[in-house]
Amino acid sequence: MATESVEIREDFTTADGHRIRYIEAGEGFPLLLLNGRDALLSGEQWRINMPALSQAAHVYAIDVLGYGKSDLPTSGYTFDTFVEMLRGFMDSLGIERADVGGQSLGGWFAALFAWRYPERVRKLLLVGNAGANLQGPPAPTEWAPPEKDYIRERMVWAYGDNIEVPDEAIDELYELARRPGRGEAWLALIQATHDMEQRQKYLLLDKLPEVQAPTLIVWGSNPTAIGLEHAHSQHEALPNSRLAIIEGGSHSAQGIRPREFEREVVAFLREPA
């Protein structure tokens, strides 16, 4: 798999009234990627994979609303908020149709987007995604900005020894965790996505049978957050899906087993739609 250095560019756009940050690389058909649930995540989650994925797509890794350097509203979140953010992102950049994917909570949003706007999704990529489990993990009710030692521990959890994490990167995450409104925004979006009425309304198992886009579901063989049974239940519910289980991978298979993940995804992207 090609992993040579590629130019990764940072930019901002306005999507559904919100300022959204993203990084991009490559040329060709667009692939839009959404980050997962953890408060420290952003589009940077996918940087490790972008040199390889950009050989097969124009990759846009998005800081989901409420994360990273994107706007941090402290109220007003629903599942619709994130679906419409993605639609607005595509509209703002003139992207009519794309491959769409996400990890964990971001995968839930991507799947809902494919369900609501099927004409705008060519292929769907779901990585250890939430949405098939009605009862999610406990929703935090308090926020304390993490210290640098904890941030480094989370980077090791997500990437193992696959990347170097220089002090400058830790410093940047430390400062991002202290952006005004950071804690309030994350708690608000987590409370919204853990609301049982909302989760029942947007449960994926009720909607995936209607999604016709070719779908690749990627799961680690050692999931640490969402069990393999949810990978199988979504594979069974999706009429045009393939399940790839990455040996030794965790909830963040793209970080712990990046080369295996990239081989699966690049092959999927290059298949005729």
- Kindly list the structural domains of the chain, giving each domain's residue range(s) and its CATH number in brackets, ordered by start: 9-270 (3.40.50.1820)
Q: What is the pLDDT along the chain (273 residues), one digit of tens a residue?
A: 333 589 999 999 999 999 999 999 999 999 999 999 999 999 999 999 999 999 999 999 999 999 999 999 999 999 999 999 999 999 999 999 999 999 999 999 999 999 999 999 999 999 999 999 888 778 899 999 999 999 999 999 899 888 888 899 999 999 999 999 999 999 999 999 999 999 999 999 999 999 999 999 999 998 888 999 999 999 999 999 999 999 998 898 999 999 999 999 999 999 998
Instruction: Look at phi and psi of residue 94 and say left if phi exceeds 0, alpha if psi is from -120 to 50, else beta.
Output: left
Q: Which residues contact 100 (CB under 8 A, 6 or more apart)?
A: 31, 32, 34, 86, 110, 113, 114, 121, 123, 124, 125
What pTM value is reported for the model? 0.96
Write out the two tokens for 111.
Answer: 């799947």
Determine the Cα–Cα distance for residues 162 and 249; give it in Å rounded to an integer.
12
Write out the two tokens for 154.
Answer: 């989370």
Q: Cα torsion at 265, 64, 189, 254 (round to 10°)? A: 30
